Amino acid sequence: MRFNKKRRKLEIRAWYRVDLIVGAYTVDTTQIRKALLKLGAKRLLIQSPLGLRAVATELAKTLEAEGYSVLLSNSACWGACDVAYQEAENLEADAIIHLGHTKFMKHDKIPTIYIPCHYWNPAPLINLIPRISNVLNDAGARRIGLGASIQWSIHLELVKTELKKSGIEALTHEPKMFAVEEAQVLGCDYTALKPLEDKVDAFVVVGSVFHALGMALVSDKPTYAIDPAAQSIRELTENKRRIINQRYANIMKFKEAERIGIIVSTKPGQKRINIVNPIARILQNHGKEVYVISADEVNEQLIIEYGLDAYVNTACPRLSIEDQVRFSRPLLLPAEVLVAVGILEWSFLVEKGLIMFPWAYSDENSKTVWRLIAGEAYGRRQVSQYEV
């Protein structure tokens, strides 16, 4: 496909009313100005993840020239589940401008403007289309489920059009959990792809291995990671196999642990206090000594002095996947705890998907698991795992 970079840049400006482009990223300052005018906000906190700090600086310069007082947050930012409400309150900011993500929280404690910062230039992605087509055709994948991180989502129609020329049909779907745009995936939300599982031969996720690996962990269908920045295409079956083996090994280690720390996050979108007491009671019923630990950043160096044998992670599920290697002790997900104490079968959890189960499901299987938790925790009749 021939691509006119200058023309595409103009199209992006027109389509999305973007008048600020910083490096590879777009910033919808029209949306920002309208929101600030409506809010009457004057003192602003700009929050950005690593990779978008230069965008934050340029946006701050633009807004300060228009009379706003702007603060740049230097705190870690892992997603829209990690909005800097407390920081903004401490600094007496009227509003937060959150870069790089779409809205995650149902209600914002402090007015928050979410700016996704799309990649304006699709060339790195479009250049991969011939290779993607060859890989999919060689694998016999004639119909795929197509997803992307928010930065690449605006270019998926181009991808669908180009793949169609090679006889490949790409399907997309609306998300049903935390993501908000069609085909958008998050590290913890693959509801834009999971409903397509019975209709497609494979999944293709544009963004990075991180984004695609989550999908591989919730589906048996082949999953391909398309990374335009690295110009790479990777099929993730082997990655999934390695992760599954690592998770099972940690479950086995957890069984031998006696002193358990349940980590509850203080991040607004990762705070699952409602699951802490049931999991604690389950563990206590199985003879474990349990401590609850509050944490903003889940880092073993900050909790190792408690002298515990293993941890339960009720914060971001990806911590147990990507960060387990940084922990000398098991860091189990709540559903994995149920496997460790014999309430759930490991094969069932793998089939349903490590990352999203049971949070993302409303079917009878998921309801049964919640009954399992409630029954085991509070002494009601335990539902047999075979009813699941």
Determine contact, residues 316/149, Cβ cutoff 8 Å: no
Judge if 244 and 379 occupy the same domain.
yes
Residue indicated by tokens 């690996």? 213
Beta bridge partners of 333: none
**Any idea what the CATH number is for the domain that residue 134 is in?**
3.40.50.11850
Residue after which a domain boundary falls, among 59, 94, 115: 115
To which H or E segment does residue 209 belong?
helix 209-216
Reported as a single tens digit per residue, the pLDDT across 9-44 is 555 444 455 578 888 899 999 999 999 999 999 999
Determine contact, residues 102/184, Cβ cutoff 8 Å: yes
Other beta carbons within 10 angstroms of residue 112's beta carbon come to 21
Q: How far, in Å, CA of 162 to CA of 170, rounded? A: 10
Rg of the Cα atoms in the chain: 22
What would the mean pLDDT of 147-171 be, rounded to a whole number?
97
Judge if 127 and 220 occupy the same domain.
yes
For 282-289, the CB contacts below 8 A with 24+ separation are 282/337, 282/338, 282/341, 282/343, 282/373, 282/376, 282/377, 283/312, 283/337, 283/341, 285/376, 285/377, 286/341, 287/258, 288/257, 288/258, 288/259, 288/260, 289/258, 289/259, 289/260
Q: Which residues of 364-385 are buried (b: 16+ CB within 10 A; e: fewer)?
A: eebebbebbbebbbeeeeebeb
Reported as a single tens digit per residue, the pLDDT across 255-289 is 999 999 999 999 999 999 888 999 999 999 999 99
DSSP letters for 7-49: HHHHHHHHHHT--EEETTEEE-HHHHHHHHHHHT--EEEEE--
Q: How far, in Å, CA of 342 to CA of 354, rounded? A: 16
Nearest CA to 261 among 220, 313, 335, 214? 313
Q: Which domain holds residue 359?
A: 240-387
What is the three-class DSSP state of 302? helix
Nearest CA to 148 among 119, 114, 106? 119
Judge if 250 and 383 occupy the same domain.
yes
Judge if 231 and 244 occupy the same domain.
no
Judge if 91 and 150 occupy the same domain.
no
Q: Is the dihedral of CA 326, 309, 248, 213 positive or negative?
A: negative
Asked whether the predicted pLDDT for residue 386 surpasses 70, the reply is no
Determine contact, residues 234/254, Cβ cutoff 8 Å: no
Judge if 65 and 192 occupy the same domain.
no
Residue after which a domain boundary falls, among 65, 93, 115: 115
**Half-sphere exposure of residue 288: CA atoms within 13 angstroms, side-chain side:** 27
**Any idea what the CATH number is for the domain that residue 101 is in?**
3.40.50.11840
Judge if 347 and 247 occupy the same domain.
yes
What's the pLDDT band for 348 if we cut at 50, 70, 90? confident
Judge if 230 and 173 occupy the same domain.
yes
To which H or E segment does residue 238 belong?
helix 237-256
What is the three-class DSSP state of 261? strand
Judge if 153 and 288 occupy the same domain.
no
What's the token pair of residue 210? 């991180």
Reported as a single tens digit per residue, the pLDDT across 41-79 is 999 999 999 999 999 999 999 999 999 999 999 999 999
What's the pLDDT band for 187 if we cut at 50, 70, 90? very high
Judge if 16 and 111 occupy the same domain.
yes
Residue after which a domain boundary falls, among 72, 97, 115: 115
Judge if 344 and 258 occupy the same domain.
yes
What would the mean pLDDT of 130-159 be, rounded to a whole number?
97
**Any idea what the CATH number is for the domain that residue 379 is in?**
3.40.50.11860
Eight-class DSSP state of 185: -
Residue indicated by tokens 């402090």? 110
Judge if 155 and 197 occupy the same domain.
yes
Q: Which residues contact 244 (CB under 8 A, 6 or more apart)?
A: 217, 350, 354
**Structural domain count, the chain:** 3
Q: Is the dihedral of CA 325, 331, 335, 340 positive or negative?
A: positive
Asked whether the predicted pLDDT for residue 211 surpasses 90, the reply is yes
pTM score, whole prediction: 0.88
